[in-house]
Amino acid sequence: MSEFPLVPASRYACVVDELAERGWSVQEQFLPEVLAQALERDCRSLWQQDDLTPAAIGRGEGPLVVPEIRGDYTRWLDECPPTAAGRAYMTLMDGLREALNRSLFLGLDTFETHYALYPPGAGYQRHLDRFQDSPLRTISVVAYLNSVWQPGDGGELRLFLPGGERDVAPRAGTVVIFTSADVEHEVLASRFERASLTGWFRRRPDNPLLR
């Protein structure tokens, strides 16, 4: 039995309804507090041990590290030492994947996620999450792990929506879910270290050579 509380089915249903209606959902206190705290400890431990590396933009043969565009440091969760918190988070995401497939018929097959830590002053310029040469990333998920965040600390996620911009505070437990191909977004510069798990639900490729 997991040491972390389960997420009620009603929270999954709320995400499904909001994605169907508008293509994005912001869920405060979606992560149980003890899980968010444990994941934050894991992320900051990796940072302190120099186990996070500068993130690049692009992919294939052309990824580049350009701190002026993207300034976070990352490590894929499946490449990290296994922890109870990491396993609980993946179980939570699997429940969300099943809810999305059951109600929205998205055909989501896998979930990939990495820790992301932004040092003070770092951000990520406006972008979409889906690669131009691959349609597989379908739903983006950002889970925040900053237990001591206060208004004025910066680091908000800015969503560019049809009705205007919306800024989301990177407060621990908040999870943002949106369609990867449609919702442009950016990470505003933070005054302090900003930690999160950023990931994507991917659908199974029609062509097995497509990744």
Q: What is the pLDDT of residues 39-80, one digit of tens each?
A: 999 999 999 999 999 998 876 556 777 777 899 999 999 999
pLDDT at 67: 77
Query: Does residue 211 surpass a pLDDT of 60?
Result: no
Mean pLDDT of 150-159: 96
Mean pLDDT of 139-145: 98
Q: Which structure tokens are listed for 79? A: 């490449």
Count the alpha carbons within 13 Å of 146 in the hemisphere toward its beta carbon.
26
| Token pair 């979930």: residue | 111
Determine the Cα–Cα distance for residues 157 and 170; give it in Å rounded to an integer.
Answer: 7
pLDDT digits (tens, 9 = 90+) for 118-138: 999 999 999 998 876 677 999
Query: Residue 208 carries which side chain, given as an amino acid letter?
Result: P
pLDDT at 139: 97
Buried b (16+ CB within 10 A) or exposed e, 66-78: eeeebbbbbbebe
Determine the Cα–Cα distance for residues 33 and 128; give it in Å rounded to an integer.
Answer: 29
Determine the Cα–Cα distance for residues 110 and 114; give it in Å rounded to an integer.
Answer: 14
Give the least confident one: 15-19, 106-110, 204-208: 204-208
Q: Where is pLDDT greater, at 7 or 63?
A: 7
Coil, helix or strand at residue 175:
strand
Q: Which of 54, 3, 5 is nearest to 31 (CA)?
A: 5
Mean pLDDT of 149-174: 96
Give the least confident one: 53-67, 74-88, 177-191: 53-67
Q: Which of 190, 140, 137 is nearest to 167 (CA)?
A: 190
Query: Does residue 149 surpass a pLDDT of 60?
Result: yes
Q: Which of 73, 115, 91 is nearest to 31 (CA)?
A: 91
pLDDT at 210: 52
Asked if residues 119 and 197 have their Cβ atoms less than 8 Å apart, the reply is: no
Mean pLDDT of 171-190: 97
pLDDT digits (tens, 9 = 90+) for 95-112: 999 999 999 999 999 999
Average pLDDT score over the chain = 92
pLDDT at 133: 62
Asked if residues 23 and 163 have their Cβ atoms less than 8 Å apart, the reply is: no
